[in-house]
Amino acid sequence: MESLILVGIVSIGNILCFYFGAKIGQKVSKGENIEIKSPVQIVREHQEQKEVEEELNKFKVISENIDNYNGTPIGQKKLE
């Protein structure tokens, strides 16, 4: 049973390698530039995107507070 699972995993790995190899090979043959991002770049981009989303949410809350302002603190949301 364990050998069947191992054979299945290796087979799936071979198929994936063939697919990505063919995809990259076609790009090279067409003369397209192949860009491979490092894990550090991916993490930095994710962090920057997360910071932008947090800032947009903050501005959204501020805008809603301005729209809901009636002279009292009722209906105001707290900024986080």
Amino acid 43: pLDDT? 95
pLDDT, tens digit, 9 for 90 and up, residues 65-76? 999 888 888 888
pLDDT in tens, 10-51: 999 999 999 999 998 999 899 888 888 899 999 999 999 999
User: What gap in Å lies between CA 61 and CA 55, rounded to an integer?
Assistant: 10
Name the pTM for this structure: 0.50
Query: Any idea where the domains of the chain sit in the sequence?
Result: 1-36, 37-80
Q: What is the pLDDT of residue 57?
A: 94
Closest CA relative to residue 54, chosen from 62, 66, 74: 62
